[in-house]
Homo-oligomer: A and B are copies of this chain.
Amino acid sequence: MTVYNIALIGFGGVNRALAELIASKNPLWERDLGFRLNIVAVSDLYLGSVISPNGLDATTLVESKFAKGGFSQLSGGSAEANNEVVIKNAPADIIVEATFTNPKDGEPAVSHCRWALEGGKHVVTTNKGPVAIAAQELKALAKKNGVRFEYEGSVMSGTPVIRMVDKTLAGAELNGFEGILNGTSNFVLGRMETGMDFSAAVKEAQELGYAEADPTADVEGFDVRLKVVILANELLGANLTPDDVARKGISGLTAADIDTAKKAGSRWKLIGSAIRNADGSVTGSVEPKCLPLEHPLAAVSGATNAVSLNTELLGSVTVTGPGAGRIETAYALLSDIVAIHNLAGANLKKEAA
């Protein structure tokens, strides 16, 4: 039986959900996936950090009501979030990076990833920052150190997109994509279709926990722009930065715009897209588009996300699924670990030959 020792960097919703899954699913994963996960370290800005070479009990970790700095109560614990020490010194095979997204320079998550990869540790992350800002550098660093940098959850939570294209659409000749990549703005547009104005719809999204106190990143397309950069660079071999992608959000849409579209048998959606141009360059954009109801993305409602992949040999293939959610995003981390495990399996077989 393979056991992967993992260190959780950040202990917010996503990594907490992963710990919950570990608490209940390890026997199932042993049977179906061929491995179990053992948490050997956790670091969190609020709770502090802890290294436990034999492993922390996932149930205890999830159920304890720690106060600020509370990890100091644990054996091997500290009230400080010693991320660098944890990443460099914890006996982890895999570093699970789930700190906050910094859309400017990706820090401190980029450094977290660098430390891990330089130390020969795999990295799995749901953090858009390091992927949008530094994917090329981090992938090269992973390769150099014989480990993997995996980030399925940086776009559309656990709904497969990056790995789907890589593993199931090779040779289909992807020319571009368009997607609904932000559940909050899609929810707001849906509410506006019922006659609500923009501000009231945002307020409702905030009350339901879909939108943050400052909804700018979601409704003005900044979040989608990071995802367009990630997908364009990953799927179309582009080398875009966020500033390369034109961006327009949905705050300028009025109730009248929505109504006019409705009467014309169409519907506004915030679309993130990229296309490969004739000269090989790639253009990304984020803007509200008025889609006819027959369009494969027109029916994607509420907080659901979807991406249509436009290919030469298959035409359009669309994948639709959750775009957020604690467990759904934690699943993305699991799917990254499964991919590492399967690759390690091939390597182990190689070594045994």
Chain A residues with a Cβ under 8 A of chain B: 21, 28-29, 32-33, 152, 157-160, 163-164, 167-173, 293-294, 296, 298-299, 301, 304, 313-322, 327-328, 330-331, 334-335, 338, 346, 349-351, 353
Contact = CB atoms under 8 A, between A and B. Distances in A.
Contacts of A321: 314-318
Contacts of A335: 168-172
Given A171-B334, A318-B319, A353-B351, A313 B328 contact: yes
A33 B349 contact: no
Nearest to A294: B301
Contacts of A163: 167-168
17 contacts: A21-B313, A33-B170, A152-B168, A157-B314, A160-B164, A160-B168, A167-B168, A294-B299, A296-B320, A298-B299, A313-B327, A313-B334, A315-B328, A316-B321, A317-B320, A317-B322, A318-B319
Interface centre among A169, A301, A314, A349 (most CB of B within 10 A): A314
A294 B301 CA distance: 8
Contacts of A353: 350-351, 353
A4 to B, nearest CB: 13
A160 B170 contact: no
4 residue pairs, one from A and one from B, having the closest CB atoms? A299-B299, A160-B168, A317-B321, A167-B167
Nearest to A159: B317
Contacts of A319: 317-320
Nearest to A327: B313
Contacts of A313: 21, 158, 327-328, 330-331, 334
A110 B247 CA distance: 54
Interface centre among A168, A170, A171 (most CB of B within 10 A): A168
A121 to B, nearest CB: 21
Contacts of A350: 346, 349-350, 353
A127 B328 CA distance: 35
Nearest to A17: B313
A250 B141 CA distance: 56
A163 to B, nearest CB: 5
A113 B213 CA distance: 60
